[in-house]
Structure 1
Amino acid sequence: MTREETGFHLADFLRSARAHLHILARPTSAQRKRRSRPQRVHPGTWDLLDTLEAACRPGFVLGRRLDVLAHNRLAGRLITDFRALPAAQRNQARFVFLDPHARDLYANWSAVAADTAAMLRLDAGRHPDDPALSALVGDLAIRSQEFRRHWSENKVHQRTTGTKGYHHPLVGDLTITYQALTPGDDPDQILFVYRAEPGSPSETSLRLLSSWNEPTTQDPTALRDLGNRRH
């Protein structure tokens, strides 16, 4: 299995592990204060998500505990529409480990699951006394054998850049690259920006998803037919 397939880059992993241990050793009062406040997405970040949408690029924001704080329409179509879920279920870890759709969606679900558990453990190191995080970990451990296995490996990981594959039910296989950014003044938020190689079949698939609500492609069956003609 290649490094890209596992989703772990050794240098990033070692840096994340060192940061994780350092934070565990010295949690600060500033961290505790930030954790007590509800997370808000800055208006400028919402505008950026709209700009990414216009450029046919999925974008979404993760907060503490991998909560999904915001996403543009295209990200919702590519992954899942978290806005349609109850607030307590708008969480990336819950989606990956508990939603059957996730296993079919990700081309390498096992790597995504390992990454997700490692990202959540990194957050646990930053906020070791967060009761909501403890409740999330406990629920995932009860309901997912795979989560228990990955959590017990004690790995930590902070995503920066990478590549991910999808098996989308409407437009078929896509390969995207992503970049993780910290928006605004909240270090506990991560903005993920997705893109496909210009001129590639994956870019065509993203444009098909983006045009879903246009009059010629309102019917999901019509969209699926368009995707079939692409292959």
Structure 2
Amino acid sequence: MELDTDLGTFLKSRRARLTPEDVGLTSYGTRRRVPGLRREELAQLAGVSVQYYTRLEQGQSRNASDGVLAALADALRLDEAERLHLQALNAAGGRPIVRRRTPAERLDPAVRQLLDATPDVAMMVMGRFTDILAWNRLGHAVFGGHLDFGAPTRPADRPNMSRMVFLDPHMRELFVDWEAKTEEAVAHLRMAAGRYPDDPRIASLVGELTVKSPRFAAVWASHEVRECGPSVKELHHPLVGSLTLTQLPLQLPGEPDQRIVAWSAEPGSASEAALRLLGTPVGTVRDVQRQP
């Protein structure tokens, strides 16, 4: 599958979400054949010629200058994640497509020690294409208790968070606002696709999810991009019920493609008590649930 991560497609998607009123232009009420800004309107806002912008959007001009990218980003009201994505797509467009796999990801033993030393916080390490490289016991209990705890240590069996979100019924039930979680997952995956458009693994993952999940196909077509940031998640866990957890991603020094994601509960809350219960052996949790 060819990834639709080219610069022109992204520019068109961002142009389509803006109206003349959004950017301070006068709209005279004339009927528009397509939603959003016209090419000539965006070119005017960015200070480039309509001809040049058209060639850029159609893929006839490659590797735009930093100044042009900045002007387009300003005109399109892009946030920081979208600007980074725009730069990545522009850089990729200036080189021939050569499918090559990026190096295998390895986990620093110090990171594994950190996960094991933090038993009261659910934690996992995610790689460049949302593979789960490691989790601690509590992270496994919250998100993957139905999976083998040792699976992340075996590359062939390694769980992938994007695949789980869309294809694993457990995740569909776990996230109360599953649709919002799917949007977040796709936005993060698009960032990865922009950084590594030539890696066949990202093309394979996107192709698989597009075929198997209509929801993924629909959200992928929106071209939203977003860095993983702090957020609050409402979960419904099959063993302990409702959980309100704060998600905090932490970039690993020296590993730009890896991040620890931690989920914690407010001290003294029912969610903290539920997490503590999940941290006990599974049989103990079920025994407690059976008590009158």
Shorter-chain TM-score range: 0.7 to 0.9
Matched-pair contact (CA < 8 Å) for 2:126–2:259: yes
- AA of the residue aligned to 2:103: R
Matched-pair contact (CA < 8 Å) for 2:132–2:158: no
Give the counterpart of 2:259 among 182, 190, 197. 190
| TM-score, normalised via structure 1 length | 0.82
Aligned residues: 206
Matched-pair contact (CA < 8 Å) for 1:171–1:223: no
Give the counterpart of 1:125 among 185, 194, 197. 194
Q: Which moved more, 1:104-113 or 1:84-93?
A: 84-93
Partner of 1:46: 112
Alpha-carbon deviations, 1:101-147, whole Å to 9, x = none?
A: 11111111000011001110110001011101100100000000000
Considering only aligned residues, what root-mean-square deviation do their CA atoms show, in Å?
2.3
Distance, in Å, in 2 between the alignment partners of 1:186 and 1:148 is 30
Partner of 2:227: 158
1:212, distance to aligned residue in structure 2 (A): 2.3
Partner of 1:115: 184
Q: Does structure 1 residue 101 correspond to structure 2 residue 167? A: no
Give the counterpart of 1:21 among 82, 86, 97. 86
Structure ranking higher in helix proportion = 1
Query: For 1:26, what is the secondary structure of its paired residue?
Result: helix
Query: For 1:189, what is the secondary structure of its paired residue?
Result: strand
Distance 1:16 1:223, change over 3 A: farther
Query: For 1:66, what is the secondary structure of its paired residue?
Result: coil
Distance, in Å, in 2 between the alignment partners of 1:220 and 1:16 is 41
Partner of 2:122: 58
Partner of 2:250: 181
Structure 1 moving runs of 4+ over 2 Å: 81-89, 218-221, 223-226
What is the correspondence of 1:64-83 to structure 2 with a 5 Å cutoff? Answer: 64-81=128-145, 83=149
Alpha-carbon deviations, 1:189-229, whole Å to 9, x = none?
A: 0111111000000000000000125xxxx255314336xx7
Distance, in Å, in 1 between the alignment partners of 2:261 and 2:238 is 22
Q: Does structure 1 residue 199 correspond to structure 2 residue 259? A: no
1:84, distance to aligned residue in structure 2 (A): 5.3
Distance, in Å, in 2 between the alignment partners of 1:170 and 1:223 is 10
Query: For 1:60, what is the secondary structure of its paired residue?
Result: strand
In structure 2, the gaps of 5 or more residues are: 1-77
Distance 1:114 1:45, change over 3 A: same
Alpha-carbon deviations, 1:21-48, whole Å to 9, x = none?
A: 111112499xx9x962111111111111
Q: Does structure 1 residue 37 correspond to structure 2 residue 103? A: yes
- Which structure has the larger Rg over C-alpha atoms? 2
Partner of 2:206: 137
Identity of matched residues, %: 37
| TM-score, normalised via structure 2 length | 0.66
Distance 1:141 1:178, change over 3 A: same
